[in-house]
Structure 1
Amino acid sequence: MQDMNIATMVIIVANVLMSIKGFSDFSFFEKFKFNIAGIHKGEKIRMFSSGFLHADYQHLFFNMLTLYFFADIVIVSVGVFKFILIYILSLLVGNFLSFIFHKNEYHYSAIGASGAVTGILYSAILFYPDMGLYLFFIPIAIPAWIFGILYLLFSIYGMKKSIGNIGHDAHFGGAIAGYVLTILFAPGLLQTHLWIVILLAVPIVLLFILMKLKKI
């Protein structure tokens, strides 16, 4: 196993402690989850705190395992401080996009680090677009850049069709933040991986077009 950077460890521990507290303390969970009605009442902390709560141990494990595998790629590429910025801003942008899509659904609630983790994943893909990743239940590794495009296209479909109890919009918002921040922090990617950068932007541009046309 790879040595875990202290920043990754702190983030994982924070997620574990907050989630375990939420599992056993209903009032704590309700106070800090993402909830449209609460945010409208001025409880903006929910936009951040909800990213450290999870539905169950499986949800927590999957998100933290994904973070563990891709965090070091980003840390080695841009440094610890920028890695933390990508993580936090991906969390916030993911929740902000959820707020935009659900702002009139006062009952809507969500939890999980998926937006932040997706931002880190998308950042890692920009740096190593040819690494092999697995898509859902397909047992064959595919290039990471193809994975990234298919994942976001599926997220758009999930947002449009409201598939499953999944925050597709938070995932997408996290990916947007991870994409934009990575290019800002490592503009050399526009020279070394220009076509990958362009291709990975396609689902993002598509989402904004669909939003503009009110198709989603």
Structure 2
Amino acid sequence: MGDLDIITIVIIAANVIISYKGYGDFSFFEKYKFQVGPIQRGEKIRMFSSGFLHVDTQHLLFNMLTLYFFSSVIINYLGQFNFIIIYFASLLFGSLLSLYFHKNEYYYSAVGASGAVTGILYSAILLQPDMSLMLFFIPIPIPAYIFGIGYLLYSIYGMKNKVGNIGHDAHFGGAIGGYAITLILSPWLFQTNLLMIGLLAIPIVLLFVLKKAGKM
């Protein structure tokens, strides 16, 4: 993990440049952030542009480090072109799920690459489920699939209880995008990793069961 491919460098550079432009230019930030009202009026570009803006350097750094660690897994298995497809599909799925959950909140807004990056994380776990992760606050390796499932369960909790100023639904939508597109691009996973496909589907199914039951 962590070999820096040219396409990863380009995406990180775009995030850094556009985010820093947004830090110092309020009107630029306002024009390109995710906001329900303007998107419903037709400003669909915000569904993508918001994924390159961040609220601060810590937010940007966390997302870019996660991207750095997991992008090489997908590029090694599926190539650069498919990595780009997964990245932007995850970004779009994150925006679509946010729009779905907040469609009646005209002023709801969000920024960040978290949806795209969570999609990359989920895709990498599907492709290489025996990966282990070392988290900053837990000094022992955690199986990647445990982290992925736990992260989405926490996202459901965060969406339900509006925890923090975090777009939990964008994270979740991104994970769904990364999961679905990876399976479309890699049907061989159904032969080799069927158990993992089932385990990673649990929080996704749970979210929609809760939504249908009116619990979200």
User: Would you call these one fold, judging by a TM-score over 0.5?
Assistant: yes
Kindly state the Cα deviation for residue 58 of structure 1 after the two structures are TM-superposed: 0.8
SS in 1 for 2:138: coil
> Per the alignment, do residues 2 and 162 of structure 1 end up closer, same or farther by CA in structure 2, a change over 3 Å counting?
closer
Letter in 2 for 1:35: Q
Q: Partner residue of 1:10?
A: 10
What is the total number of aligned residue pairs between the two structures? 216
Taking structure 2 as the reference length, the TM-score comes to 0.97
1:80-107 Cα shifts (integer Å, max 9, x gaps) = 1110000001001101100111111111
- Which residue of structure 1 lines up, in the alignment, with residue 205 of structure 2? 205
Match of 1:95 in 2: 95
Q: Where does residue 158 of structure 1 map in the other structure?
A: 158
The alpha-carbon deviation at position 211 of structure 1 amounts to 1.2
Unmatched 5+ stretches in structure 2: none
* Distance across 1 between alignment mates of 2:197 and 2:3: 29
Instruction: Report the more deviating stretch, 125-134 or 86-95.
Output: 125-134
Percent of aligned pairs with the same amino acid: 67
Preserved contact between residue 134 and residue 147 of structure 1 (Cα < 8 Å) = no
Measure the CA separation in 1 of the matches of 2:2 and 2:84: 19
Cα separation, 1, equivalents of 2:3 and 2:146: 28
C-alpha distance in structure 2 between counterparts of 1:135 and 1:127, whole Å: 20
> 1:38: how far off?
1.3
Question: Are residues 1:120 and 2:140 paired?
Answer: no
CA contact (8 A) 2:155 2:171 kept: yes
RMSD: 1.3
The letter of the residue matching 2:124 is A
Q: Kindly tell me: are residues 2 and 170 of structure 1, through their superposed partners in 2, closer, same or farther at Cα, counting changes over 3 Å?
A: closer
Moved more, 163-172 or 206-215: 206-215
Q: Return closer, same or farther for 1:2/1:101 CA change in 2, 3 Å cut-off.
A: closer
In structure 2, relative to structure 1, the CA distance for the partners of 1:2 and 1:209 (3 Å cut) is: closer
Worse-matched range after superposition: 134-143 or 183-192: 134-143
CA contact under 8 A between 1:86 and 1:119: conserved in structure 2?
A: yes
**Helix, strand or coil at the partner of 2:140:** coil
Instruction: State the distance in 1 between where 2:161 and 2:137 align.
Output: 21
Alignment partner, residue 52 of structure 1: 52
Q: Which moved more, 1:14-23 or 1:123-132?
A: 123-132
Q: Is the 8 A contact 2:2 2:71 kept in 1?
A: no
Query: Matches of 1:76 and 1:91 in 2, distance apart?
Result: 21
- The match for 1:80 is 80
- Name the CA distance, whole Å, in 2 between partners of 1:14 and 1:46: 15
- AA aligned opposite 1:160: K
Displacement after TM superposition at 1:187 (Å): 1.0
Is 1:190 matched up with 2:190?
Answer: yes
Instruction: Answer whether contact 2:94 2:174 (CA < 8 A) is retained.
Output: yes
2:148 aligned partner:
148
Give deviations 1:159-183, integer Å, cap 9, x for gaps.
0000001110000000001001111
How far is 1:146 from its partner? 0.9
Deviation at 1:127, TM superposition (A): 1.3
Equivalent-residue separation in structure 2 for 1:56 and 1:64 (angstroms): 12
Question: In the superposition, relative to structure 1, how do residues 135 and 149 fare at CA in structure 2: closer, same or farther (>3 Å)?
Answer: farther
